[in-house]
Amino acid sequence: MKLAALFTLTLAATSVQAQQATQPDTRQPDASVKGASVQMHDVGPPDAIAQLRKLAAAYNLATVKKDTSALLRFYYDENVPVTGSVSPPSFARMTEASNGKAPKLYPSNAKDQSVADTSAKATAEKMSNLTIHTDGAVASIEYDYEIPQGYGHTFWTLVDTKDAWKITSIVYSINIRSTAK
């Protein structure tokens, strides 16, 4: 059964690739995310890409407005993993400053991250180089971010539910400005 399914998927993928090779690229750049650079590297159905760019802009706006409940609605559920990883140069400095007690990873979940991202002390990210890859059912969004304390790169994975696109995971790098350059 698995072999038959694999064979069918392979034939379907080959057929789609052949059709795509003969069709012109009709993708249009969309700079709907404030501060995001226009990217011609988006891959996928134009309607899905437009929806995902709109979602990224709305997510960023919710952080600016400090709207925790709005931010949490972008996630599949409140337990979605959100994990930060400190870059090697920043980690070395943090380790030295903390006598070896600095964590390398900052694991969290959607609920806790939404509260942290909308706290009075939180600074909204400046997003740039946003790129989307999707087949219309699943997607990834990646972008560079910058805040006063540092910068990094963020990856989201998403699924298209019956009602909306939902974030299923976020990972990001952490580069402390004073050690990153």
**Distances in Å between the alpha carbon of 8 and those of 3, 18, 20, 58, 137?**
9, 16, 18, 38, 19
The tens-digit pLDDT sequence of the chain (181 residues) is 232 322 222 233 333 333 444 344 333 333 444 444 444 589 999 999 999 999 999 999 999 999 999 999 999 999 999 999 999 999 999 999 999 899 999 999 999 999 999 998 888 889 999 999 999 999 999 999 999 989 999 999 999 998 999 999 999 999 998 744 4
CATH number at residue 96: 3.10.450.50
Q: Determine the pLDDT at residue 84.
A: 97
Range of the domain at 76: 50-180
- Helix (H) or strand (E) segment spanning residue 59: helix 46-64
Whether 158 maps to a domain, the answer reads: yes
Whether 147 maps to a domain, the answer reads: yes
Q: How many CA atoms lie within 13 A of 16 on its CB side?
A: 9
Whether 61 maps to a domain, the answer reads: yes
Whether 31 maps to a domain, the answer reads: no
Q: Determine the pLDDT at residue 69.
A: 94
Whether 14 maps to a domain, the answer reads: no
Q: Are 36 and 128 in contact (CB under 8 A)?
A: yes
DSSP letters spanning 114-133: HHHHTSTT--PPEEEEEEEE
Whether 166 maps to a domain, the answer reads: yes
Q: Determine the pLDDT at residue 34.
A: 43
What's the rounded Cα separation, in Å, for the pair 8 and 5? 5
Whether 125 maps to a domain, the answer reads: yes
Structurally, the chain folds into a number of domains equal to 1
DSSP character at residue 95: H
